[in-house]
Structure 1
Amino acid sequence: KLDIKEYDLNVAMNDGMRKGFSVPIGEGSVEWPKVRTELLKIDFRGWATAEVKGGDRARLAEIRKQMDRVVTNA
């Protein structure tokens, strides 16, 4: 299983380490193209979960879009 979350180093340095996790998936410091490359190298075929706050259907749809962008580059 792949746990997906985002982290922003600039936010962390300015507002505190835990605040670095407060950014949407795909808008932080994680280098997702490199992550995808490494997942391809190991032939990852598992499933992924978003480690973020939940919400209503609209929020969950947005999380899905974020995950699609970073995992599949869609």
Structure 2
Amino acid sequence: KYAPPEQWIRTLGKLIVKCHVKDFKLNPDGHGGKFVNIRDGSVNWPVVRRALEQVGYNGWMTIEGSGGLSMQERSRRLDLIIAGK
């Protein structure tokens, strides 16, 4: 049911046709948490980016955000993810 995104990417592989980017910050005990702006959470983006590359993903990436960031900042953060940082 719950697994790191890179695990789902490797499991689904070529079935992935769109990448919906969002972030989640786990509670310190590793159970529960909350959605946060991309790159402010617990997602290991360099690992996710490598997993997408390994399965040959070359499609769209769209951002889901909880607000609070300008479109320019959201774009900058997505650019960092795409760059593998």
Give the TM-score of the pair, scaled to structure 2.
0.64
Q: Which has the higher strand share?
A: 2
Distance in 2, matches of 1:29 and 1:69, equals 16
How many residue pairs end up in the alignment?
A: 66
- Corresponding residue for residue 30 of structure 1: 43
Q: Over residues 40-68 of structure 1, what are the superposed CA-to-partner deviations in whole Å (9 max), with x where a residue is unaligned?
A: 1111110110011468xx71111101111
Task: Give percent identity, aligned residues only.
Answer: 35
The aligned counterpart of 1:62 is 73
User: Which of 14, 20, 36 is equivalent to 2:34?
Assistant: 20
> 37, 42, 49: which is aligned to 2:55?
42
CA offsets per residue over residues 16-38 of structure 1, 9 Å max, x none? Answer: x4x610x2211210011110111
Shift in CA distance, 47/31, structure 1 to aligned 2, threshold 3 Å:
same
Any stretches of 5+ residues in structure 1 without a counterpart?
A: none
* Secondary structure of residue in 1 paired with 2:24: coil
More helix by share: 1
Q: Which runs of 4+ in 1 moved over 3 A?
A: none
Computed over aligned residues only, the root mean square deviation of the Cα atoms, in angstroms, reads: 2.2
